[in-house]
């Protein structure tokens, strides 16, 4: 399988990126011009469309050492780029809520170096919409005057294009990704993840076009249980006491999700830092080194707390997207539309809700969910925002 096979349902993007990879290889080898290749790219698309996957695959295509058709997926350049271990491919994945100016300045300095392998220095910023104003300005200077063999690959969601400054966007070639269809997602789950046909088809039909979500639903029973619990909330809000129970379930599920994703990693990072700072050592000077490690450990804990906050908010947002999809299904059912449901496995519940609620009350509930997403994005305390939303869902 080539690196391009990782891009699910993105044939147009594959054609653009593979053409650019061939032009880049010809430029490095001195056998052609740079037509079709540029130094800055912006990958946009809805959540789950594979923006960072596309950027990583393109990085592999640029580093591919197989002549003729870059992106073979077999050479060392492809393998190391896709696994994140290539010396000339730097992945910037923000662990907090934003990318700081200090982090970006350090990255810009590193990107100015010549590639060790003689091909390209590639910088991948997976969440360019999280750049602070200072970080965006630092990146802009590098994008305006890039080193000869450096390529910047930026990723940002298409539902918030203004989060990437217009000055940066104007200097990038944009690759717009689309939401892949259920058939394409099911196929990649079967071939890449060895998921059985029925499970793959089900996961592809309920993931909302999000490939990563489909994989998790297909392989993680706990993720399936959390989704079902969220989708039972609209029907189970019968008493005022249910409001607080449902709110607590939503927040607790997000906290559990965040803990599962980062808990083991946090402790491993602390152990590695303590070891690097001399913990457990017996040689001369280890005692003073260990005493001096307190500040470094405190800084690591600060970063881990920021990462946990972001992970929790991402998990909450995923639950809210599921809720919004349920209310959309109710409206579809009420209207007698033949449009596909977001949650076909909960069609009975959305059908019951369509009989009980007026279209106006369903729409108010949908607006409450969307308003909660916006409130959390504006840094309202998640529990407060969730309780206000669930109260509106109960009131109708």
**pLDDT band of 345, cuts 50, 70, 90:** very high
With H, G, I as helix, E, B as strand and everything else as coil, classify residue 10.
coil
Q: Which of 47-51, 291-295, 337-341 has the lowest mean pLDDT?
A: 291-295
Closest CA to 102 of 143, 128, 131, 125: 131
Average pLDDT, the chain: 85
Q: Tell me if 165 sits within 8 A of 140, measured CB to CB.
A: yes
User: Any idea how long the chain is?
Assistant: 396
Q: What percent of the chain has pLDDT over 70?
A: 85
pLDDT tens, residue by residue, 29-56: 777 666 678 999 999 988 888 899 999 9
Q: What is the pLDDT of residue 233?
A: 93
- What is the domain partition of the chain in residue ranges? 3-176, 240-395
Regarding the domain with residue range 3-176, which homologous superfamily does it belong to in the CATH classification? P-loop containing nucleotide triphosphate hydrolases (3.40.50.300)
What's the token pair of residue 40?
Answer: 């800055």
- Number of Cβ atoms within 10 Å of the Cβ of 316: 24
- Number of Cβ atoms within 10 Å of the Cβ of 388: 17
- Which are the contacts of 331, defined by CB distance < 8 A and separation ≥ 6? 359, 362, 363, 366
Question: What pTM, to 2 d.p., does this model score?
Answer: 0.76
Q: What is the pLDDT of residue 304?
A: 65
Q: What is the pLDDT of residue 152?
A: 94
More confident of the two residues 53 and 287: 53
CA distance 251 to 164: 30
């Amino acid at each position: 399988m080539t690196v391009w096979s990782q891009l699910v349902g993105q044939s147009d993007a594959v054609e653009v990126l593979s053409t650019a990879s061939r032009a880049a290889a010809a430029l490095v080898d001195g056998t052609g011009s740079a037509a079709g290749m540029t130094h800055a790219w912006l990958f946009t698309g809805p959540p789950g469309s594979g923006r960072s996957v596309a950027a990583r695959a393109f990085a592999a295509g640029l580093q591919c050492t197989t002549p003729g058709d870059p992106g073979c997926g077999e050479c060392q350049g492809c393998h190391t780029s896709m696994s994140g271990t290539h010396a000339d491919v730097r992945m910037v994945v923000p662990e907090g809520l934003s990318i700081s100016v200090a982090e970006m300045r350090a990255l810009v300095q590193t990107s100015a170096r010549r590639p060790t392998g003689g091909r390209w220095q590639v910088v991948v910023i997976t969440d360019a919409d999280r750049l602070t104003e200072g970080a965006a300005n630092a990146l802009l200077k590098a994008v305006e005057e890039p080193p000869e063999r450096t390529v910047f690959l930026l990723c940002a969601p298409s539902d918030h294009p203004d989060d990437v400054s217009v000055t940066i966007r104007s200097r990038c070639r944009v690759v717009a990704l689309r939401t892949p269809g259920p058939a394409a997602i099911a196929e990649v789950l079967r071939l890449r993840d060895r998921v059985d046909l029925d499970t793959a088809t089900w996961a592809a039909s309920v993931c909302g076009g999000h490939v990563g979500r489909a994989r998790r639903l297909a392989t993680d029973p706990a993720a399936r249980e959390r989704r079902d619990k969220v989708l039972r909330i609209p029907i189970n809000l019968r008493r005022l006491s249910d409001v607080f129970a449902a709110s607590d379930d939503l927040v607790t599920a997000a906290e559990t999700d965040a803990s599962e994703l980062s808990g083991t990693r946090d402790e491993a990072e602390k152990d590695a830092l303590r070891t690097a700072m001399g913990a457990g050592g017996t040689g001369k000077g280890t005692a003073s080194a260990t005493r001096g490690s307190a500040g470094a450990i405190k800084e690591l804990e600060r970063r881990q707390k920021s990462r946990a906050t972001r992970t929790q908010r991402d998990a909450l947002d995923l639950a809210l997207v599921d809720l919004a999809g349920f209310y959309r299904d109710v409206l579809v059912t009420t209207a007698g539309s033949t449009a596909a449901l977001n949650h076909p496995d909960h069609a009975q519940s959305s059908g019951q809700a369509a009989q009980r609620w007026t279209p106006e009350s369903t729409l108010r509930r949908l607006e409450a969910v969307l308003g909660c997403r916006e409130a959390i994005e504006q840094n309202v305390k998640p529990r407060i925002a969730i309780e206000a939303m669930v109260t509106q869902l109960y009131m109708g």
